[in-house]
Structure 1
Amino acid sequence: MNFHEYIPIDDLICSCSDGPITRNFEDVILMQSTCLKDKNGVEIYEGDIVELADDFAVVKFDSGAFVIDYQNLDTEFELIYSIEVPIEAIGNIYEDHELLEVTK
């Protein structure tokens, strides 16, 4: 693919060792990185379910900042950058939503 080729806006093209892969955006959920890593070195993304100090929370982007939503109720937030206890990413709201049912 050269710079001037048209890429449809509704497709995502990724390159890999076997050549380009085209995925429809209906099959893909784009997740924004917080640029932080958990205690195991795993990158933390918006939508991740995290465990911290024996509590579970969801990482969200709200009012221009990444926050921890402790009850997943959009009511109690803490800036993720101010958390002083170790955080562990244990799943995400798209693939592991059953983890949230346990925390309610």
Structure 2
Amino acid sequence: MMREYKFRTKFRAWNKKDKKMINGIQNFFSFREFFFDKNIVVEQSTGLKDKNGKEIYEGDILDNREYKSVVEFYGCGFSAKIYFGGKSTHQHFDLRGEVLTSKIVGDIHNNPNLLEVSD
């Protein structure tokens, strides 16, 4: 099932080959180039900000002191997939409730280790 993209929002893209994030994609023609490239993972802005005012994108890792979560498009909106003890709990919470107490600590591409259990 494909979702429809509206270009009143921002996107970023992770280049798997070069291991670099491309920020600020707001132009349809730029986006179209990335969308069909298998080395590119396109991530949409949620339109929300964390407790420090930083814009939240798909793939961001949030920390709210009790657990970490990963921002995903799930069902028909953005959610926070909860990780506890280094493992996914397969629980999703509405992202709007998570942002009040959470801060972005990284993303799944550059910082996957943040989801692991720390000693």
Pairwise TM-score range, normalised by the shorter structure: 0.5 to 0.7
Secondary structure of 1:33 counterpart? strand
> Structure 2 matches for 1:1-80, cutoff 5 A?
11=33, 25=37, 28-71=40-83, 73=88, 75-80=90-95
Secondary structure of the structure 2 residue equivalent to 1:69: strand
Of stretches 28-37 and 65-74 in structure 1, the one that deviates more from structure 2 is 65-74
Q: 2:112 is matched with which residue: 68, 77, 97?
A: 97
How many residue pairs end up in the alignment?
Answer: 86
CA 1:39–1:10: 2 relative to 1, 3 Å: closer
> Can you give the 5+ residue segments of structure 2 that lack an aligned partner in the other structure?
1-28
Question: 1:56 Cα shift?
Answer: 0.9
Identity of counterpart residues, as a percentage?
31
Q: Name stretches of at least 5 consecutive residues in structure 1 with no aligned partner.
A: 1-6, 13-23
Tell me by how many angstroms 1:65 deviates.
1.0
Query: Using a 3 Å threshold, how does the CA distance of structure 1 residues 81 and 102 change in structure 2: closer, same or farther?
Result: same
Report the equivalent of 2:10: none
Contact 2:58 2:71 in 1 (8 A): yes
CA deviations on 1:47-100 (whole Å, 9 max, x unpaired) are 110001332111111001111111263621110113374210011111111111
Partner residue, 1:81: 96
Q: CA deviation at 1:27?
A: 5.4
The CA deviation at 1:11 is 3.6
